[in-house]
Each structure stands twice: as structure tokens, then as C-alpha cells.
Amino acid sequence: DTAVSQTPKYLVTQMGNDKSIKCEQNLGHDTMYWYKQDSKKFLKIMFSYNNKELIINETVPNRFSPKSPDKAHLNLHINSLELGDSAVYFCASSPHSGRSGEQYFGPGTRLTVT
């Protein structure tokens, strides 16, 4: 069984559209994350969601909004898509909110904005 899954795997859309990426984990973890990986493979945290507490990275535009219907899901909604949003987005989860740092990543969603 896939531990952390994301849908869709590929997403091609036009500027100005609104889109969502879904993430589900079946590991029973309390904490989930969204990362953005640019074309140079640089990986940057966007959000961390621990149970009902959302920790927002201040560098993320407010066009990006995570939504967590329950502990196993953390979806990413993006409004008014821009060319610069093109990237691979990774969802991850971890069993602790402390210092363990070990995270389990999904396979990624490649978003292309045209």
C-alpha cells in the first residue's frame, strides 16, 4: 500500500486558473507538509499542519491555501495560478511534531502553468 499518495501526478493548466492537489497518508501520522521543488531541484517547505494547527511559511503567497479535512489528508489549493508556480509539489508526513525530523514523501505532482 502506498504510504503517502498524491493526485494528480501531472497537472497542466493556464495562468489565472484555480487548481487543487490532493494528498493522503495512511501511516497514522499527526503532521503533514507541502514542499515546492523548483526546476533546479531546490526544495522549500511551504506549510506544516500538525493536527489542527497550521504553520504557515511566511514566504508563501496567500494564493496558496492548505486544507485539511482530517488528519490523513492535506490538500493544497492554488488560486490565480502564475507561471512561476510551475514546479513539482511534494506532500510529506511525519509521526512526530518534535525533533525526529523523519518525513515520508509522496511521489510528487508536477504542475505546469502555461
Partner 1 sequence: GDSVTQMEGPVTLSEEAFLTINCTYTATGYPSLFWYVQYPGEGLQLLLKATKADDKGSNKGFEATYRKETTSFHLEKGSVQVSDSAVYFCALSDNNAGNMLTFGGGTRLMVKP
Q: What is the dihedral of CA 88, 16, 24, 69, to 10 degrees?
A: 150
Task: Pick from 55, 63, 79, 82 the residue near partner 1 by CB under 8 A.
Answer: 55
Comparing CA positions, the residue from 24, 45, 17 lying closest to residue 113 is: 17
Query: Which residues are CB-contacts of 76 (< 8 A; sequence separation ≥ 6)?
Result: 20, 21, 23, 34, 46, 47, 64, 65, 66, 67, 89, 91
Query: Cα 35 to chain center, whole Å?
Result: 5
Is 33 a binding residue for partner 1 by CB under 8 A? The answer is yes
CB of 66 to partner 1, least distance (A): 12
What gap in Å lies between CA 53 and CA 8, rounded to an integer? 25
Is 50 a binding residue for partner 1 by CB under 8 A? The answer is yes
- Nearer to partner 1 by Cβ, of 6 and 75: the residue is 6
Task: Pick from 48, 66, 74, 76 the residue near partner 1 by CB under 8 A.
Answer: 48
Is 1 a binding residue for partner 1 by CB under 8 A? The answer is no
Task: Pick from 65, 86, 105, 112 the residue near partner 1 by CB under 8 A.
Answer: 105
Is 28 a binding residue for partner 1 by CB under 8 A? The answer is no
* Binding interface with partner 1 (CB under 8 A): 4, 31, 33, 40-45, 48, 50, 55, 90, 92, 94, 96-108
